[in-house]
Amino acid sequence: MAINFNNALGIHEQALILRTRRTTVLANNIANANTPGYKARDIDFQALLTQAGDSQRRSVDMARTHQRHLSGVSSSLADELLFRVPTQPSVDGNTVDEQIENAAFARNAIEHQASFQFLNSKFTGLMKALRGE
Amino acid sequence: MSLMQIFDIAGTGMSAQSLRLNTTASNMANANSASSSADQTYRARHPVFAPMFNDAMADVFAGPESVSTGVRVLGVVEDARPLQPRYEPGHPLANEEGYVYYPNVDIVEEMTNMISSSRSFQLNVEVMTAARTMMQRVLTLGQQ
């Protein structure tokens, strides 16, 4: 029986990648907390993870017009980014709420740690199985 | 690597906020710098922020769909509000009519700017610290 990394690691690999991308988006919101006209962004984690888990495929796959083309995945987040619904929009058009962004960032950091923990124990389990101890 | 990008993003945020704190300090220090003519009087300065984009084209078509990577300072503008002429004939810098011009610095506004920018700076530092911890953790993947 061959070891298949996709089967062994499960959803945690995708989850960790998505958590990392979300960290970037939230850091960007916090950096632009005082930029006039800036709109706070975020990604729908659940929807993206379901997408990734369903077919191992993203919505932003590149079109393949030739059978020998490699299947590429766009690294841009542009299609997946949504706008946050502002609770207290300010007069300069900025919709970043520093408290909300900070809370989301802290939560995302913990969830990132959780995903990492799961992924790491998968690897530890694999190594234990290989050693046969 | 996405996590590496966070250092750049938080870095631009910290740099922008420290520039804002710099202008605030300059405004407060010059709040009472009197002058005999309106042209030579200090005017309050304010930085203008804008999102920074990854490629030059996104900057031209800065639509709602483009993703920014940090913040940049477009420039520092002078406050357009009128100066404060005060009638002080005894002042050594008073002009022929006895008027001295004072800067258009609003101390209360500068104080709120100061608190807001130091708070934002602090948040960016926290983001950077968290990103560092996350990276260090990811580097231990697969270790016993």
- The C-alpha of A21 sits at a distance from chain B's nearest C-alpha, in angstroms, of 6
Residues in chain B with CB shorter than 8 Å from the CB of A113 are 134, 137
ipTM, two decimals, is 0.80
- The C-alpha of A55 sits at a distance from chain B's nearest C-alpha, in angstroms, of 23
CB contact under 8 A, A34 and B120: yes
| pLDDT confidence of residue A58 | 46
Contact B17, B121 (CB under 8 A): yes
**What is the C-alpha end-to-end distance of chain A, expressed in Å?**
19
Task: Please write the tens of the pLDDT for every residue from B16-72.
Answer: 999 999 999 999 999 999 998 888 899 999 999 988 876 555 545 444 445 678 899
Nearest by CB to A35, from B51, B116, B131: name it. Answer: B51
What share of chain A in percent tops pLDDT 70? 83
Residue B115 touches chain A, beta carbons under 8 Å: no
Task: Please write the tens of the pLDDT for every residue from A24-74.
Answer: 999 999 999 999 988 888 988 888 888 776 655 444 556 777 777 776 655
Q: What is the mean pLDDT of residues B117-128?
A: 94
Residues in chain A with CB shorter than 8 Å from the CB of B138 are 16, 116
* Residue in chain A lying closest to B127 (CA): A27
pTM of the full structure: 0.80
CB contact under 8 A, A124 and B144: yes
Q: What is the DSSP string of chain B?
A: -HHHHHHHHHHHHHHHHHHHHHHHHHHHHTTT--BSSTTTS---EEEEEEEEESSHHHHHT--TTPPEEEEEEEEEEE--SPPEEEE-TTSTT--TTSEEEE----HHHHHHHHHHHHHHHHHHHHHHHHHHHHHHHHHTTT--
- CB half-sphere exposure, B54, CA atoms < 13 A: 11
- The C-alpha of B22 sits at a distance from chain A's nearest C-alpha, in angstroms, of 15
Residues in chain B with CB shorter than 8 Å from the CB of A106 are 130
CB contact under 8 A, A38 and B116: no
- Nearest-angstrom CA–CA distance, B49 and B53: 13
CA B30 to chain centre: 17
CB contact under 8 A, B141 and A123: yes
A76, A91, B8 from B81: Cα distances, Å: 43, 19, 36
Residues in chain A with CB shorter than 8 Å from the CB of B9 are 24, 27-28, 31
Contact B52, A27 (CB under 8 A): no
